[in-house]
Amino acid sequence: METLSALLYLVASVCFIMALRGLSSPETSRQGNFFGMAGMTIAVLTTLALPIVQSYWMIVLGIAIGGGIGYVIAKKIEMTALPQLVAAFHSLVGLAAVFVALSAFYSPEAYGIGVPGAIAKGSLVEMALGTAIGAITFTGSIVA
């Protein structure tokens, strides 16, 4: 199961990269949106299929809350304010990266990367980069 989930996460990652590539031009934006939706669907379904998932209700609640907030914001924002909206959402992505890295540092056993005080070196590098890049993204997007 681990090999299959790793492969599916890799496919989802490639879809996200293709989404960014597609969204870089108005002519390919529809294709970019498709890749983004496909990547997110693969990632969410793969996560839901993992045996470690303990509460499907919390996941459904999170999707409902996030989807509701996104729907309300999408309906209220004018197209002329879209760059500001993208910057605001982008800042939240950076903040999320910081929180994920910090939670992995404080609870490495939950992520399968070791135990407190004995975390794999590669994971420490990844967490440091995630924290630094996330913090820069957060502050840079807020300034923008």
pLDDT digits (tens, 9 = 90+) for 12-62: 999 999 998 888 888 888 999 999 999 999 998 998 898 888 888 988 898
pTM higher than 0.75: no
CA distance linking residue 137 with residue 80, whole number of Å: 23
Long-range contacts of 6-11 (CB under 8 A, 24+ apart): 8/42, 8/43, 8/46, 9/43, 9/46, 11/39, 11/42
Given a cut of 80, is residue 82 above it in pLDDT?
Answer: no
In single-letter form, the type of residue at position 125 comes to V
The pLDDT of residue 122: 87
